[in-house]
Chains A and B, each alone.
Chain A
Amino acid sequence: MSAHSQILLTSSEGTEFIIDRDIADKSMLLKCMLEDIGEIGQAVPLPNVSGPILTKVIEYCTHHRDDPNFLSANDDVAADIDEWDLEYCKVDQGTLYELILAANYLDIKPLMDLTCKTVANMIKAKSPEEIRKTFNITNDFTPDEEDQDWVDEH
């Protein structure tokens, strides 16, 4: 096993995480930071990511560590989510939200795609009212604005 250099991360609560360099590189944010600054002995602080979420994110990146397609953009909307990823996303809505935000902040595109696809699946076949309930969104349309018949092109 080749010796990877290691990176120290600190979550918002101050918990420390040690991860291998190649796993850290899955995050474009960390990758660029480390390329610019070089090896730093100190920990990289991540004030926007909590410990539990950071654990989940590291779990994802570790599982996809050797995935050759990881960095290439997968814009294939129709592609099915693989089993491991499906199980990975079986979390409560709050956790899912935080994962999206963390993936966004750390710039991990495949994880963004995965979590957003999960959201898309939650929207599937729901009516507007059901969507509002699921995601806790207020309806700010006036009654006559709601009537948009142009949508009937379909």
Chain B
Amino acid sequence: MINPSIEKNPLQIPEIRARVSRLVSLEDAISCVRVSKAWSKDFTSAIWYTVDFNIHRTFKDLDGNIITKHGRHIRTIENIKTQPELNAVLRSTIKNQDVALFSGPSIDAFKHKGVVTLLAPIKQVFQPDPESGLSSLGFSLLVHFPNLIEWHCYNLSAALFVPVERIKTEVTRCCPRVTMIDTWKSPPHIIHSLVANAFYGLKNVTFEYIQLSMDVIVALLFHRETLLRVCASLDSQCSYTERDELPLEGDHFQQSGRAVQLLPRCCPYLKFLEFEGHEMDMDIVEEEEWACRGLQQLRVRIRGLNTKEKVDRTLKLWKEGRQRKGEEDTTFIESHMNEAKDTSIEARVARHLLALEKLEAVWLGTRTFHA
């Protein structure tokens, strides 16, 4: 004999209806919502649970009221491909729920065509949402900036956040016009990795002088045919390089100073060479001619030019030499200088500077001198 208390239709129990609703097909769910009011409630969520743009092509055209009424049931949205579809999905009722968005592989990402400068570390670019895992499809913020030219792309930890090949692929694919990078405080091997392997045809590279190493110089030389500016900046907190006195400063790269000369010797188009943390040795400088005949600005300290007076004298000699050049025949100037046989450090530096005919501004430790 059946106990009367269980003579009940289990489908009258909402939990059981809800369980069945997860097992029916979409078509059947649509039939079910028409059965009765109670059924309507439980089967509605089954209809709206997953929106797949591959199947529900007219979803984005649905009336706003309808989405407002039922959007709260949406939990999964798949195969978003275009901006209008994304907009349809970003309505407030849907946004407030815990909805998972899955975009198809060909998402037509919104492109900001006007952005030319980006300041964002590698980590942020490749994992824009820190909560989510690293996308295996390989999308990065770079996809939004096709006209990017300048990227302040630092990576402060010891290992690159993503493999350098990945960075290279993204840069090549999304923003091939990047020609200026600034690695800020990134360590030497990171600089090397990025400069040597992630970018092509760089024109402008900035990094922190304290991070300079042989690897960095080698990496820079890969871009010798395109480099216009190399800037080894001092600690960003130091804005004291324009000063009246010449303080005694060390140079961590002194032992390998010779290597720094490779830059002006091998980069023929270099216009700006900024190495304020470095102290050049004129003996080494004079070993070989600098190829960058178009150099416009030089910022470096010179070994031996260790007082303000010496620096001032050097700049004066340079200035005078330029004026004479403007007025008279060049051959006369050269012989004049050779006659003097002035082997003082000031004269040697001035001779070197005069050879660079396009030079407009020089900093030798105190203040920038403009010709």
Contacts and interface: CB of A to CB of B under 8 A. Distances in A.
A127 B31 contact: yes
Interface in B59-83: 59, 62-63, 66, 69-70
Interface stretch (B1-9, B132-140, B264-272): B1-9
A136 B9 contact: yes
A137 B34 contact: no
A151 B30 CA distance: 7
Main secondary structure of the interface of B (DSSP, over half): helix
B58 A151 contact: no
A101 B27 contact: no
A131 B30 CA distance: 12
Q: How large is the interface on A (under 10, 10 to 19, 20 to 34, 35 or more residues)?
A: 35 or more
A97 interface: yes
Contacts of A135: 9, 11
Nearest to B18: A116
Interface in B1-31: 1-3, 5-6, 8-11, 13, 15-16, 19-20, 22-28, 30-31
B10 A154 contact: no
A119 B9 contact: no
Contacts of A132: 35-36
A151 B35 CA distance: 14
A128 B26 contact: no
A50 B36 contact: no
Contact of A50 (B2, B11, B13): B2
B32 A123 contact: yes
A56 interface: no
16 contacts: A12-B3, A48-B6, A116-B16, A116-B20, A117-B23, A119-B11, A120-B23, A120-B28, A123-B20, A124-B25, A128-B34, A138-B36, A140-B38, A150-B63, A151-B47, A153-B62
Given A12-B3, A119-B23, A151-B30, 5 more contacts: A104-B15, A120-B20, A123-B24, A123-B31, A135-B11
